[in-house]
Structure 1
Amino acid sequence: MAAKKAEQALVTRWRSILVLHARVQCELDRALHGHGLCGSDFEVLDVLAGTPDEDGSGSCGYRVQQISERVHLSQSALSRLVARLEKDGLVERSLCPEDRRGVRVALTPKGRARHGEALPVQRAVLHRMLAG
């Protein structure tokens, strides 16, 4: 009986996490819409704005698979998102100099500016929804 109660508590906790995630994601999408972004768009821009030369290769940005690991999107979903951001002039894609089969994604100046404008909005939503 105790094991069943513990299992039900675990399931209840998991569902609470899912509800919180959905609420925060919805609020982020709503707040970022004024900047022409959704939550996933912002996450990609935020990753790219974080460390432009993290791997020491001298190349800015990240490989697509490195981004997908950080934003928790499939590579195909991320590829579509990056294509849309590139079309909007926010990112640019290039072949990886260390592996010509790979693609590297970097912020453009326009993308860096858009990220800078949206950053306080995203952080305010996170603070309001998750702090305390």
Structure 2
Amino acid sequence: MCYPPSMSARTDDALAAEWHRLMGRYQRLMCVLDRELGAEHGLSASEFEVLQQLEQAEECSLRMSVLADGVHLSQSALSRLVTRLERDGLIERKSCSQDRRSLFVALTDAGRTRYADARPTQRRVLREEGSDCLEQPA
């Protein structure tokens, strides 16, 4: 016998379907951001996000663990990304004088300039490609 799905199963299915739509919109937007930021500024969307988080932080510096939470990357993924940005002269690592185990990342002048140059591109892409993400479901 085939029974209709329970109310709980229907709710779970609707939630799973909405999750699928959300992930699709996110992936499409990230692809456009990667393409546009890469072509115009030599940055990936994740690299831009790191520069943005640092630019908005007090003294343009954050503890690595705080930065990882803010950019939604694992510690190892962030470490690789920070290494690339540091190699390009956009950020620098600094140790904490009070706790030598803590590592801070700071924006350099070159990083501040690259962020300022790339910000209008990122905002344009969000406006043109991502405005539907701001719409509330009916």
State the TM-score, normalized to the length of structure 1: 0.90
Identical aligned residues as a percent: 45
Alignment of 1:42-121 (within 5 A): 42-53=48-59, 60-121=60-121
Q: Could you say what secondary structure the match of 1:94 adopts?
A: strand
**Residues 15-70 of structure 1: CA deviation (Å, up to 9, x unaligned):** 001101100100100110120100000000000000233xxxxxx50010010010
Read off the aligned partner of 1:41 and give its amino acid letter. E
Q: Which has the larger radius of gyration?
A: 2
**1:17 matches 2:2:** no
Distance 1:7 1:100 in 2: 47
Tell me what 1:5 maps to: 10
Paired amino acid for 1:21 = Y
Q: For structure 2, which runs of at least 5 residues remain unmatched after alignment?
A: 1-5, 133-138
Instruction: Provide the aligned length of Structure 1 versus Structure 2.
Output: 126
The alignment's TM-score, normalised by the length of structure 2, stands at 0.87
Residue 126 of structure 2 aligns to a residue whose secondary structure is helix
The amino acid of 2:21's aligned partner reads S
Deviations 1:77-99 (A, max 9, x none): 10110011000000011101221
- Give, in whole Å, the separation in 2 of the partners of 1:35 and 1:72: 22
